[in-house]
Structure 1
Amino acid sequence: MNILIIESEIYLAQKVVSRLLDDGHNCDFVESPNIDNLTKDYDIILLSTSLPASLCKTIIRRYNDSIILLLVSYISDETVTDPIKEGAKDYIMKPFIMDELVRKIYHYRECKSLRKELQTLREYLDFQFNSVDTAGSVLPTTFPLLIETNSQISADKLAFELSRKLDLQMKFISLSSDKWQKQVNERFNGILYLTDFHALKKSSKESIIRIIEEKKAILVSLENEEDFPYTKVDFHKDDEFMLSNSIMTINDYVKMMVLSYQSKYPDTELSKKLGISRKSLWEKRKKLGIEKKK
């Protein structure tokens, strides 16, 4: 990191510079800065509030994108409250233990990094969901619940909207994974978001229904689930054609189409639409483990 130390106590500043250099950082040190000479960019600024208040305010405003930590000799509105209102992140009282200063530096650097990552992820989600129309559809706040849909991304958007509304973390589990039972049973106080419910055999569906009885769980199925005992939400888009982010294998495509449309078309018509015989459709069901709804 590039770090600027602005401190009139030369002995203290030298100790700080020495420690930060040992940690592998680049450090600049000035006693009383000429604001016009501060042209470099810094990740961290250690600012002594022994400087005139107007100069501290100018520096804080100039480096509003940097992490500014105040080095203070006493606590007052002028030395702490006002600079923090201007944008400084925190303060440390002199004399201080060097390890405590370093801890604050790394803490606020990590916080800044996490905020940037969170903002990037939020913008990515907004970008992904921008073309997904869920207007007028809101998930209930009763758990467990099942979303029956032909659009996985629509279910994702509805679940994210609910998690934000309830201010709860979400844990993502694919029920087509061999590890789903362990993941579902792990201690977790947020929302369990379970996809591919339609891919389970009947016995496994019954098992997970028992497991999630007391959990905040959202399941997603691409087919109708007549025997689900809890809250169900039906969200189907007539104009939706489900696409994968990568090229699908023929078997994956057939499985997706059969699971999505077997409740809508009889086997004779479904096999015709897939361009295969009814016997081939039966063989595909058996090979891919697709249970036919009775």
Structure 2
Amino acid sequence: MNTILNINNLSVDFDTEYGIFHAVDNVSFTVSKGQVVGIVGESGCGKTVTTLAIMRLLDTVVGASIQGEILFEGQDLLSLRKKQMHQIRGNEISMIFQEPMTSLNPILTIGRQITESLELHLKMSSKQAKERAAELLDLVGFSDPYQKLNDYPQQLSGGMRQRVMIAMAISCNPKLIIADEPTTSLDVTIQAQILDLIMDICDKSGAALMLITHNLGLIARYAEKVIVMYSGNIVEEGIANQIYYDSHHPYTLGLLKAVPRIDGDIKKAIDYYRRNASRTNRSVNWMFF
């Protein structure tokens, strides 16, 4: 499989009033064309910051500092000018954000928010973009796409808003889709529908997918390769079966033990985690443990 994304020694720091915070610490990994890569870890481990760095969405954040390489098809995204990155973002790399309730612009119609990228990146006319937007809404499951083009985000349910976000993400046929907690605020039934939809679209288009989540069940079902993050570091990486059935890192083992089971004892899992986890202990064998 050809590599489409190559992250080399990526570090993201934030200069705060309390000192330098190392959000991502020397992270390296690859994503191949058409591959589904799952990044899993607890809240605050650096998953979302990593994706925001890839998208160059931290450029305007005061105090943010990014080092390393983010190679997309051999081109270092960190070395691109804003105008060059603007041509890639939303066109060749797109992102589905984790909060559909607030990610859409409340003062613009659904149709306008989808057609904007079509007119900008694909140079479509207003009429062509509107027709394509209706096709996209139909593709993501809207029964009355032309009517929905005139709706505002607040007129839609959470699941429908997330479908709009997916339509926007795939509008320009990207080569890489980053889905950051795409089903966080949705109920279990809708979660399955949304993720099945994303996977189906990636299968048909050949796009690679980075699935960011703290839900190990979703990763087990959809990901080919799994990356486990803890405290800004990648602590374990491998194919899904290897991570789930032959993992070695104490944090990965703790995560797996913490998965709720009908006959399980969550207190034992939490006790295991507390015994093994320490942010300050940088041992030779296991970072942070």
TM-score normalized by the length of structure 2: 0.35
Larger relative contact order (C-alpha < 8 A, sep ≥ 6)? 2
Which structure features the higher share of strand residues? 2
TM-score normalized by the length of structure 1: 0.34
Which structure features the higher share of helix residues? 1
